[in-house]
Structure 1
Amino acid sequence: MVAIGAVDGDAGYLFQRVVDADLLSDGRVVVADGGLSVLRFFDRDGRFLGESGGRGEGPGEFASIQKIWVVAADTIGVLDLATSRLSYFESDGSLVRTARLDLSVTTAGVGSLDFMAGVLTDGSVVIASLALGREDGLGPDRISVERFDTEGRHLGRIGESEGLVRARLGERMIGPLPFTPYPHFAAHGEAVYHVDGYRSAVSVWLRDSENEVAFPAASHDLTGAWAHLEAEVRRRGHAMYVSVLPTTPRPDSIPALAGLLVDDGGGIWVKQYVPQTDALWLTESGRTAGGSWWVTDPIGRLIAEMEVPDGFTPLRAKRDRVVGIAVDALGVERVEVRLITR
């Protein structure tokens, strides 16, 4: 295992807020630090090599890094939604070019919250867009999934999905329910993969068709899950959640899946939902660590069940390695590259 990050010491190893990480073809690791607005480069043994970027809106700078990805010839793409910009870098960190995303298609009058869903073989970028300004009352968000070329031009809509289930919590706030399903997206080849969390299945959007890969459905103790949630938010001192618990609708079901990856061979990884650890109120922005993951081959045949270490959130799976974020008991983030043992 390679672990990158430290509590103190050399500034190259001190992260503020890791948002993404990926592997280059020679084993080097590129890390996107959203707190510092930089890309950091490390060799395959975790030694710091240098960094690119910095906070700003000029070429090669970032206002808010959301996602990175590696494409042909180790070109690194970066999505900065605060500036609606795609930036492309060489593997040594030098800027190649930038492009402006035409996100006007995603703003249905009241605006939208956009996030990266994946990148297809031709380099086109898939953006999931959550419509803002929804009506009051219990119900799911609506998400549209849009495709853009490498110059930022809109190519069309891929599909639609339901998102977080929200309700009025207390007198002044509309927010997600604690056991709301959380949508996850990935892309590989020419296909976009989608887990809505409601069903124990992965939807695969390919050109004009949609297929589905099904997984075993689990049953959960709803009463026990709610009791654990209530005790945990009180233990953590989450005053806002504690205050709205009495008026928060209780679930009549619990999500089935809590995570999605597609590896570089087209294998599908899905995380089995555990209410005691994966409830949205107990996680950070849907990032769920550890747990059991089912792994299938590209056509959906189950080939393995992986146990991911506690505290480790996988971000990318490539060949025999997986790169992800580990958070220790003190809240210190590290990027880890782990070997996959099957």
Structure 2
Amino acid sequence: MRLLLLAPFVAASCHAGEPAGPPFETFDSAGIVITESSRPLWAESEAWSLSPEPEFVIGAGDGDERYVFTDVRGVRRLPDGRIAVLDAGSNRVRLYDPSGVHLLDFGGEGDGPAEFRSSQYLGLDGDEFVVFEAIGGNRTWWSLDGHLLRASGPFPSEDRASGTLIMVGTMADGTAVGVRDGPSGLPAYDVGLNRRPWSVWTFDLTAQVSDSLLEVPGAEGMILETGPGGTHHQRYVFGKYSVLAVSDDRVHVGSNDEYAVRSHDRDGVLRAVVRRMMDPRPTDRADLRAWVDEWIERAHVLADERGEMRDRMLELSFAPEMPAFRSMAADAEGNLWVEDWVGVGVRQGSFSVFRPDGAWLGSVTIPEGLSEDRISYYDQTIEIGPDYLLGVWTDEYGVDQVRLYRLEKPTG
């Protein structure tokens, strides 16, 4: 995605009740292009939307095991419409026709050359699949019909010592991008609230080396406490964290302390900042109570255990402000999709779409249940093409389903 310096865009007319002035402004600061949006560009008739019903649904709670998923970690749509699903629970890649009918599996649990132990990422490398394994960094290439073509062994032991590498995505030139949960050599966790940095790496899929690119803020998720009873960890509610997305020539980092995404080039140099102008929302104990109630409901805690569980969780510490957003993805055309934070962050939000020059186009509502596995520094459970959104949903029974919705873009 290439960001261009544009003059401020002035709308021909404003919607009723909207402030006058440009909806976004772009300026240069020491070679960094900064775009700040105060309101969306789309009029109601221009807004994108998803089809009311999916084109297909793959996934069942029981029955034919070819349609039962246990831990989907990646989805890909091939140019001919076939759908590939990486099910890490079975360490298999499953291939389906454009209507969702199973065609074949490849991989499987084991240590053989055509088997996986920790499959984490499914990508397309030209006209081949590539599967990345988080433990060790093994990479294997497969034909689009599921035949093993070649493999690259694990990263050297001294490289692996700096932590498990989780692959995020690839740039247009094939450069792979991954994240390690904290650089090597960090001291033990400190007493109090901890937020260890994450280390972003680039590497050549075919080589046995990787290079550190930059550090990003990690997760504000844990408090370490000591006392007469020893040391214990406490969850920190509404803690901030970073999400990453990779496009053709950028690594996008969004730390949700504020509504801002920073775009770095393949050398780690900051090139652009995209901001949506909005004030952070303060939190209070009513938010914590709402979060606890929703968490208990979603966790299906037994009725006779709910009271005690609720009392314990209401003792948790929480951040003074809500995170600015929840997750992020880059689509095939270089637009950034940033999921808005809704309520106490348990329910799914709509996605605000920012075009390649950083201007905020508007929001797209996504059907409820999009998999929460994407809420991390990596995201392969959603793929957004020019005219479709492929993703993993969890239905009301907790069953993982792969669905494809058409992305409708008015042309008038």
- Contact in 2 for aligned 1:293/1:305 (Cα 8 Å): yes
Partner of 1:270: 338
Residue identity in the other structure for 1:340: L
Q: Specify which structure has the higher proportion of strand.
A: 1
Please report how far the alpha carbon of residue 17 of structure 1 lies from its aligned counterpart in structure 2 after TM superposition: 1.8
Residue 322 (structure 1) aligned with residue 377 (structure 2): no
Q: Please state whether the residue corresponding to 1:230 is helix, strand or coil.
A: helix
Q: 1:134 aligns with which of 189, 199, 202?
A: 189
Q: Percent identity?
A: 23
Partner of residue 10, structure 2: none
Q: CA deviation at 1:123?
A: 1.8
Structure 2 counterpart of 1:167, from 223, 229, 242: 223
Unaligned ranges ≥5, structure 2: 1-54, 372-380
TM-score (normalizing by structure 1) = 0.88
- The Cα offsets for residues 228-250 of structure 1, whole Å up to 9 and x where unpaired, read as 01323444439897575355322
Higher RCO, 1 or 2 (CA under 8 Å, sep at least 6)? 2
Please give the residue correspondences for 1:56-95 in structure 2 after superposition, counting only pairs within 5 Å: 56-73=110-127, 75-95=128-148
What is the CA–CA distance in structure 2 between the aligned matches of 1:21 and 1:339, rounded to whole Å?
16
Cα offset for 1:221? 5.1
- Residue among 280, 283, 292 paired with 1:230: 292
Paired residues for 1:1-342 under 5 Å: 1-73=55-127, 75-102=128-155, 104-105=158-159, 107-108=161-162, 112-131=163-182, 133-165=188-220, 166-168=222-224, 172-174=231-233, 176-206=235-265, 207-210=267-270, 211-220=272-281, 222-223=283-284, 224-235=286-297, 236=299, 237=301, 242=310, 245=313, 247-278=315-346, 290-313=348-371, 315-342=382-409
Instruction: From the CA coordinates, give the structure whose radius of gyration is larger.
Output: 2
- Give, in angstroms, the shift of residue 154 of structure 1: 2.9
Q: CA deviation at 1:105?
A: 3.7
- Kindly tell me: are residues 230 and 12 of structure 1, through their superposed partners in 2, closer, same or farther at Cα, counting changes over 3 Å? closer
Q: 1:189-241: CA deviations, max 9, x gaps?
A: 12111112212111111135212111233543512321201323444439897
Distance 1:183 1:107, change over 3 A: farther
Give the partner amino acid of 2:292: E
2: CA distance, partners of 1:80 / 1:155? 15
**Structure 2 SS opposite 1:305:** strand
In the superposition, relative to structure 1, how do residues 175 and 93 fare at CA in structure 2: closer, same or farther (>3 Å)?
farther
Equivalenced residue count is 328
Q: Give the letter for the 1:27 counterpart.
A: G
Query: For the structure 1 residues 113 and 317, does the alpha-carbon distance in structure 2 shift closer, same or farther, using more than 3 Å as the test?
Result: same
Q: Following TM superposition, by how much is the alpha carbon of 1:151 offset from its aligned partner in structure 2, in angstroms?
A: 2.1
| Deviation (angstroms), 1:101 | 4.3
User: What secondary structure sits across from 1:164 in the alignment?
Assistant: coil
Gap regions ≥5 residues in structure 1: 279-288
Provide the C-alpha distance between the structure 1 equivalents of 2:126 and 2:282, rounded to a whole number of angstroms. 46
Contact 1:60/1:95 (<8 A) preserved? yes
Length-normalised TM-score, structure 2: 0.73
Q: CA deviation at 1:275?
A: 4.3
